[in-house]
Amino acid sequence: MGHRQRWVRILASVTCATTMAQLPVFLVGAAAPSMRHDLHFGAGRLGLAISAFWAAMAVGALVGAGLARRLGAQATVAIGVATAALSLLGLASAQAWIALLAFAALGGLASAITTPAGDMALFAVLPIDRRGVAYGIKQASLPAASLLAGAGVPVLVLTVGWRWAFVAGLLLAVPALGLAPHGRLRTSAIRSRNSRRATEVVPRLTDLIPVATAVALAMSGVSAMGAFYVVSAVNAGHSSRLAGLLLALGGVFGIAGRFVFSWRLGQLAYPYAVVAALMGFGGVGAILFAIDGQLALLVVGTVIAFGSGWGWNGLLTQTAVVSHPHATARASAYVMVGAAVGGVIGPTLFGQIVTHAGYSIAWLVCGAEFLSAAAVLATACGRRRIDLKLEVASG
């Protein structure tokens, strides 16, 4: 198998695996209007179930990175896919809210196992001129899961029932496992055009603490959007079918944003400043959701909030991983822990605000989370110059 064919297959396999691992949390959010009648839960319990996914992801992220180092990236991705399959099957057969909570948490563990291993696999095989495109595609897994979940509402949830939507998610295991090339990836050796500079490259993972903090704030908004977008739109008077289609539209713009921003902006000298700007625009989009019943503003807010507010992740992940070439799985895990902490806080906080103050106030707080993330990242890292031109050679 040629080198190009090999890295393309690994990219396709990893992208399908990470999408499948993210699918449980978005399917729960999209199918919630139908599920809550069978499983008897409201906004508060929905927020707790979504937070259980992200909490398990936070706890398991560094464990997933350790598995990738010990077992190899490909074997670890396969374990993550199997765990995601169990989560989807469990959610499809859930008879009570407590089962929903447990299997949502299992989905978070699947994501924690799959994501660091996938980033490690990509870094090992990608040519330098394909990194931006590849990380943009791979990080599109989250909005891709949102798109699939949103499309699943009119196609499956409202026709054959919400349980079959979770069963259909199992189909992603076929390309996730079938496209993975055989054989263990060789460890990458890092080199640079300037060999003296290469010897000075020392991974300082503590540099990622403010990055992880900003990611936690932004992901509080992202996770709340994924969990409550459909039920909020339905509460504002729109049909479940329209809300699902708009969520799918948001997923399309989220995919496009992650791909385009990572591809076209991945070689800029100050990528964290760009990420901060994208987070800020995402906050503006989320604030537009606070205006109840206005379809035009809902559509505009969807395009901005999903395109920009979800679009920064590919660029940020590429920056964190490539700037720590000797600790790629752990660098990915740091970012993932921040994302997972935000995922725990966001839906729980949003659900409680909805219960006590309504959706409009909840969306204003969501927008404020994005804007706070932008401020933290711009202040701590906006002037940090990043050299993303390290070359990778298999050794």
395: pLDDT strictly greater than 50 = no
pLDDT, position 258: 85
pLDDT, position 353: 95
Q: What pLDDT digit, counting tens, does each position of 283-337 carry?
A: 999 999 998 778 999 999 999 999 999 899 888 988 887 777 777 778 878 888 8
CA angle 337, 338, 343 (to 5 degrees): 90
Written as one letter, the residue type at 188 is S
The DSSP secondary structure of 65-113, one letter per residue, reads HHHHHHH-HHHHHHHHHHHHHHHHHHHHT--SHHHHHHHHHHHHHHHHH
Query: Which is higher by pLDDT, 142 or 357?
Result: 357
CB burial readout 243-256, b (16+ within 10 A) else e = bbbbbbbbbbbbbb
131: pLDDT strictly greater than 80 = no
Q: What pLDDT digit, counting tens, does each position of 145-197 carry?
A: 888 998 999 999 999 999 999 999 999 999 999 987 665 555 443 433 433 34
With cut-offs at 50, 70 and 90, classify the pLDDT of residue 204: low
pLDDT, position 245: 93
Query: Which is higher by pLDDT, 121 or 23?
Result: 23
Query: Angle at which helices 209-235 and 43-71 pack, to 10 degrees?
Result: 140
Q: What pLDDT digit, counting tens, does each position of 244-294 carry?
A: 999 999 989 988 998 888 887 767 778 899 999 999 999 999 999 998 778
Alpha carbon distance 221, 345 (integer Å): 9
Alpha helices in the chain (DSSP H): 3-39, 43-71, 73-92, 97-125, 131-138, 141-152, 162-168, 173-178, 195-199, 209-235, 240-265, 271-288, 295-307, 313-322, 328-357, 359-381
pLDDT, position 2: 59
pLDDT, position 222: 92
Query: Angle at which helices 43-71 and 3-39 pack, to 10 degrees?
Result: 150
Q: What pLDDT digit, counting tens, does each position of 26-78 carry?
A: 999 999 999 988 998 888 899 889 889 989 988 898 888 889 889 988 899 99
Query: Which is higher by pLDDT, 236 or 193?
Result: 236
Alpha carbon distance 46, 77 (integer Å): 28
Distances (CA, A) of 37 to 108, 265, 390, 395: 24, 45, 53, 56
With cut-offs at 50, 70 and 90, classify the pLDDT of residue 227: confident
pLDDT, position 317: 85
SS3 at position 119:
helix
pTM here?
0.77
3-394 placed in CATH 1.20.1250.20: yes
**Domains of the chain, residue spans:** 3-394
CB burial readout 45-69, b (16+ within 10 A) else e = bbbbbbbbbbbbbbbbbbebbebbb
